[in-house]
Amino acid sequence: MEDRLIQLYGDELFECWRSRRTVAPLLEREPHITLEDAYRIQSRYVERRVEAGETIVGKKIGVTSKPVQDFLGVFQPDFGQLTSDMVYAEGEDIDLDALIQPKAEAELAFVLKHDLVGPGITATDVIRATDYVAPCFEIVDSRITDWKIRIQDTVADNASCGVFVFGKSKGDPRKLDLTLAGMVLDKNGELYSTGAGAAVQGSPVNAVVWLANTLGELGLPFRAGEVILSGSQSSLVPVKDGDELVCTVGGLGQCRVRFSGRAAV
């Protein structure tokens, strides 16, 4: 794809994020768009956010679990970049007025104490480099109308990044079985879904390994202090004003999030 089109679509997605509106799928308008094109568009979109004053604080892995793949019709992982304006602290209401068509997913966040530079990263490397893990909610959002996305659309749209919030519980990954640890998600006091780390590429650690090596091949290392969202262990949860979600990870603890306002779409 020509550079001018990469810039055009990256700028378009940035303006959609800023004005909280959606556009038709890129794949409908550019049937021959490749994944490489989509990641270049993502890079331009994120570049615009950084130029506007944000900083990169980490990465996210998307489309890792079967429920999310089935919902989106996307059947391979992707990644996006996390920025400073996406971060909420537990206890803060998530402002739906700042989002468009949000959906929540529960997962594990990894916070690094050492750099990870792929390729060649193993699960042992990831565990050694991790300062702690925490239960987390990612609130995904899409600038593509009605979530009518395929892999090229969501990649270009920064892996449908919205915002995210950490739980206050912190765990040592060397002392937790992240593969078998169960996750229970409650919505407004009622059980919504259950899952386990194995739902994410066999283990959340495997997802981080995949991303470290994928980024390493692109010359993009993980840096100490960065946050890595390892991928949803739950189905996608539609949210509205007043909803409260709680995810509980066995042996680790909880993350609680409440929503206020209403989304644009």
pLDDT of residue 196: 80
Crossing angle, helix 3-19 and helix 35-51, to 10 degrees? 50
In whole angstroms, how large is the CA radius of gyration of the chain? 17
pTM of the full structure: 0.93
pLDDT tens-digit map of 144-202:
999 998 889 999 999 999 999 999 999 999 999 888 888 999 999 999 999 887 766 77
Lowest average pLDDT, out of 16-30, 91-105, 126-140, 170-184, goes to 170-184
Answer with the residue of higher pLDDT: 168 or 74: 168
Enumerate domains of the chain plus CATH numbers: 3-260 (3.90.850.10)
Q: Which residues of 177-191 are buried (b: 16+ CB within 10 A; e: fewer)?
A: ebeebebbbbbeeee
Structure confidence at residue 62 as a pLDDT band (50, 70, 90): confident
- Residues of the chain with pLDDT > 70: what percent? 95
Q: Quick one: average pLDDT of 32-57?
A: 96
Structure tokens at 155: 């990649």
